[in-house]
Amino acid sequence: MTGASDLCFFPSSDGDLAYLDSGSGDPVVLLHAGYVDHRYWADQIPALAAEYRVIAPDVRGHGFSANATEPFRWADDLAALLRHLDAGPAVLVGVSMGGVIATDTVLEYPELVRAVVTCGAATGDFQYSDSWTREIQAEYARTLGAGDIEGWLAAFLRVVPGPHRTAADIDPEIPRRLNEMALHMITKHTPDEKDWHVRVTDSWSRLSTIEVPLLALNGTLEPAELIDAAERLVREVPNGRTETVEGVGHYINMEKPDDFNRVVLEFLRSL
């Protein structure tokens, strides 16, 4: 896995934002899930960089990027980075939080986006209501409030098998990698730290304005309501379609990297 020595830094208006920049050709931006960083894409960067310019940023407050000290939006940070690198329009590929960032950015900055792949996500307006996910979200809040890092990490890693499996069903290397990144991220923050993130709203009603191709790629073991939200997403985007990978959950690119890379590369080559 890469580290700080491999990174470039973009001096944003509120601190330096870290990113990897590999390969050459049409730009593809990899947007990681919440609580992790660019290392999440270790199995994708070499495969995609053989044909494309791959940019993998650390979202503000994650990895080696600066924490926020003032209000910010994910889409604004990404747009500023793409303009700094003269890398638009780019294909945005995001998992979970990264998928929301991709959707936010194509809505707010359509001129910078060529296509979107969103995985384990729909829009920023989507909110989980199933009891399993709500329980984990409550545990995140409780352990963070108590400054219980080990408890928070345990709750975070429950997401790996998802609601349909146990930890015994998962390659132990996956939670090990996630734990390394999540521990790095959570120790950058304090329990009483202000959340400066500003959400993009009214996204569902604007989906019909997305003119670029959009692929919603999900594992079949995601919660049913997330699969339903992905279906709604592609119904409302004029050039949207779905695809699934059998037998995986939220961290689809880590569990079945070869399948994930194949589907993404096929999509990229079709543009």
Q: Tell me, what's the pLDDT at 209?
A: 96
Q: Is the dihedral of CA 226, 231, 237, 241 positive or negative?
A: positive
**Minimal CA–CA distance to 23: which of 39, 44, 46?**
46
109 in a structural domain: yes
Residue pointed to by tokens 């279906």 = 231
Residue 131: which H helix or E strand, with range? helix 131-145
**Minimal CA–CA distance to 108: which of 83, 74, 82, 84?**
74
Q: Write the CATH number for 265.
A: 3.40.50.1820
Q: Picking from 125-129, 193-197, 215-219, which range would have the lowest pLDDT averaged per residue?
A: 125-129
141 and 179 fall within a common domain:
yes
Q: How does residue 89 score in pLDDT terms, banded at 50, 70 and 90? A: very high
47 and 181 fall within a common domain:
no
> At CA 99, angle to CA 5 and CA 206, rounded to 5?
135
Q: How does residue 2 score in pLDDT terms, banded at 50, 70 and 90? A: very low
Q: How does residue 16 score in pLDDT terms, banded at 50, 70 and 90? A: very high
Six-digit token pair at 113? 């986006």
**Among residues 186, 209, 224, which one ends one of the domains?**
186
- Count of domains in the chain? 2
Percentage of the residues of the chain whose pLDDT score is greater than 70: 98
120 and 18 fall within a common domain:
yes
Residue 145's domain comprises 131-186
Q: What is the mean pLDDT of residues 202-207?
A: 94
Counting beta carbons within 10 angstroms of the beta carbon of residue 21, is it exposed (0 to 12), middle (13 to 18) or buried (19 or more)?
middle
191 in a structural domain: no
250 in a structural domain: yes
